[in-house]
């Protein structure tokens, strides 16, 4: 079978589409034929290499994919041949104090398929049965293969960590990215007024389609000042920030008294300048969030399967051109998700 692979860390030129041996499933695993997969920014970080993560090479990246079951291990009871499935990439140990508390994404041995272990950007993928969710008939493969990681992440950020209420106003940074466009849709569905930032008119138009009531081109205006002016100097109740870097202090500066900044990433830099005076005086909360629990995954994905939420496809890219897909994310080209399909499925 064919798989996206890299033999060492580096730029997008390290990515290949190689012939590799097929992996039969272990006793608790399922093998499925991939119909559609998707890129996340995580694939870029993994390809570049991250401190503390020593991958066996060659590595197949990829945390999102959906397809049809071809083979199940002897202990697997939940799935059988021809079932439609999608990956939920977080692997928890089930034994540590956090797992036992139902907080699987805080597991002390937490791993992500595609990051710490082989991923699913291939013609066939083999993953633990616990990492699959059923996909109802009628859901497009492109939707099934691109929703899981970003919708579960944005759901936990807003619904569980920020405890969003229907009257809470929300600012979503980087609304054109995978997590960002999912967060806009969730905030629109669950919360009050939604504000979104992005770097072009076109991206902002899509953000408005996803449910943003107000859009801000942060390359033209300082968004914290814009939020102050749009909210009568009050600020918003919740900021969703997966960008950090230089935006961090403006994110804090966009919050109302008692507001919550929830972060899951630091695409623009993880050591930003911060304003402690503002945090204590305005009684702000800074909340970290990573992936989601299986229950949160089910909640978020049920609203994808029924069409309430919809991952927007930037482009469908053949797996043999995965390097071009990586470049689109790094160059911030387009809006929503880059979908990858095995060339044999096109």
Cα separation of 16 and 7, whole Å? 9
Residue 4, interface with ligand NAP (CB under 6 A)?
A: no
Which segments within 45-123 are labelled E, that is strand?
Answer: 64-72, 84-87, 90-91, 111-112
Using N-to-C axis directions, what is the helix angle for 148-155 and 294-305, rounded to 10°? Answer: 120
Residues 6+ apart with CB under 8 A from 195: 169, 170, 171, 172, 212, 213, 214, 215, 216, 227, 230, 236
Q: How far apart are CB 281 and ligand NAP at their closest, in Å?
A: 28
DSSP 18-65: EE-------TTEEEEEEEEEE--HHHHHHHH--TT----SSB---SEE
Residue 96, interface with Zn ion (CB under 5 A)?
A: yes
Q: How far apart are CB 230 and ligand NAP at their closest, in Å?
A: 19
Residue 113, interface with ligand NAP (CB under 6 A)?
A: no
Give which of ligand NAP, Zn ion, none residue 41 binds (C-beta under 5 to 8 Å, depending on kind): ligand NAP
67 or 174: CB nearest ligand NAP = 174
Residue 291, interface with ligand NAP (CB under 6 A)?
A: yes
∠ CA 76-131-342, nearest 5°, is: 105
Give which of ligand NAP, Zn ion, none residue 242 binds (C-beta under 5 to 8 Å, depending on kind): ligand NAP
Give which of Zn ion, ligand NAP, none residue 227 binds (C-beta under 5 to 8 Å, depending on kind): none
Alpha-carbon distance values, 92 to 32, 76, 293 (Å): 21, 18, 9
Residue 265, interface with ligand NAP (CB under 6 A)?
A: yes
Residue 153, interface with ligand NAP (CB under 6 A)?
A: yes
Considering only residues 39, 76, 86, 99, which one is a binding residue for Zn ion as defined by CB under 5 A?
A: 99
Closest of 173, 188, 67 to residue 124, by C-alpha? 67
* Interacting span for Zn ion (CB under 5 A) from 44-52, 106-114, 234-242, 243-251: 106-114
**What is the C-alpha radius of gyration for the chain, rounded to an integer number of angstroms?**
20
Residue 63, interface with ligand NAP (CB under 6 A)?
A: no
Alpha-carbon distance values, 99 to 91, 112, 155, 292 (Å): 11, 15, 19, 12
* Interacting span for ligand NAP (CB under 6 A) from 127-135, 139-147, 259-267, 272-280: 259-267
Q: How far apart are CB 94 and Zn ion at their closest, in Å?
A: 6
CB 183 within 8 A of CB 263: no
Residue 249, interface with ligand NAP (CB under 6 A)?
A: no
42 or 127: CB nearest ligand NAP = 42
CB 4 within 8 A of CB 38: no
Cα separation of 34 and 73, whole Å? 18
* Interacting span for Zn ion (CB under 5 A) from 19-27, 47-55, 90-98, 160-168: 90-98
Binding mask 25-54 for Zn ion (x = CB under 5 A): ------------------------------
CB 41 within 8 A of CB 148: no
Scan for tokens 């809006």, then name that residue. Answer: 335
Residue 329, interface with ligand NAP (CB under 6 A)?
A: yes
Residue 240, interface with Zn ion (CB under 5 A)?
A: no
Q: How far apart are CB 120 and ligand NAP at their closest, in Å?
A: 15
* Interacting span for Zn ion (CB under 5 A) from 97-105, 220-228, 282-290, 329-337: 97-105
Considering only residues 86, 87, 107, 120, which one is a binding residue for Zn ion as defined by CB under 5 A?
A: 107
CB 340 within 8 A of CB 35: no
Residues that bind ligand NAP (CB under 6 A): 40-42, 45, 149-150, 153, 174, 176-180, 198-199, 203, 242-243, 264-265, 267-268, 290-291, 329, 332
């Amino acid at each position: 079978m064919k798989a996206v692979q890299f033999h060492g860390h580096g730029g997008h030129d390290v990515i290949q589409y190689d012939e590799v041996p097929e992996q039969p499933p272990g006793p608790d695993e399922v093998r499925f034929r991939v119909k559609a997969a998707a890129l996340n920014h995580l694939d870029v970080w993994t390809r570049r290499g991250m401190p503390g993560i020593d991958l066996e090479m060659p590595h197949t990246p990829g945390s999102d994919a959906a397809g049809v079951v071809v083979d199940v291990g002897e202990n697997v009871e939940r799935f059988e041949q021809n079932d439609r499935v999608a990956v939920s990439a977080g692997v928890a140990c089930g034994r540590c104090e956090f797992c036992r508390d139902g907080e699987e994404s805080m597991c002390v041995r937490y791993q992500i398929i595609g990051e710490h272990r082989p991923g699913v950007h291939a013609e066939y993928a083999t993953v633990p049965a616990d990492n699959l969710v059923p996909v109802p008939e009628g859901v497009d493969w492109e939707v099934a293969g691109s929703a899981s990681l970003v919708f579960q992440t944005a759901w936990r950020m807003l619904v569980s960590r920020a405890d969003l209420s229907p009257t809470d106003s929300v600012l979503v940074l980087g609304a054109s990215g995978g997590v960002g466009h999912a967060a806009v849709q969730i905030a629109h569905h669950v919360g009050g007024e939604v504000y979104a930032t992005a770097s072009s008119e076109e991206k902002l138009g899509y953000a408005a389609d996803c449910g943003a009531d107000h859009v801000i081109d942060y390359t033209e205006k300082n968004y914290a000042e814009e939020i102050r002016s749009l909210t009568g100097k009050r600020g918003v109740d919740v900021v969703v920030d997966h960008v950090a870097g230089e935006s961090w202090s403006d994110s804090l500066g966009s919050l109302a008294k008692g507001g919550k900044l929830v972060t899951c990433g630091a695409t623009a830099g993880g050591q930003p300048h911060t304003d402690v005076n503002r945090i204590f005086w305005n009684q702000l909360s800074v909340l970290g969030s990573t992936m989601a629990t299986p229950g949160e995954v089910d909640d978020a994905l049920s609203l994808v399967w029924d069409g309430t939420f919809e991952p927007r496809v930037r482009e469908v890219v053949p797996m043999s051109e995965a390097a071009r897909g990586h470049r689109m994310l790094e160059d911030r080209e387009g809006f929503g998700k880059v979908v990858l399909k095995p060339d044999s499925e096109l």
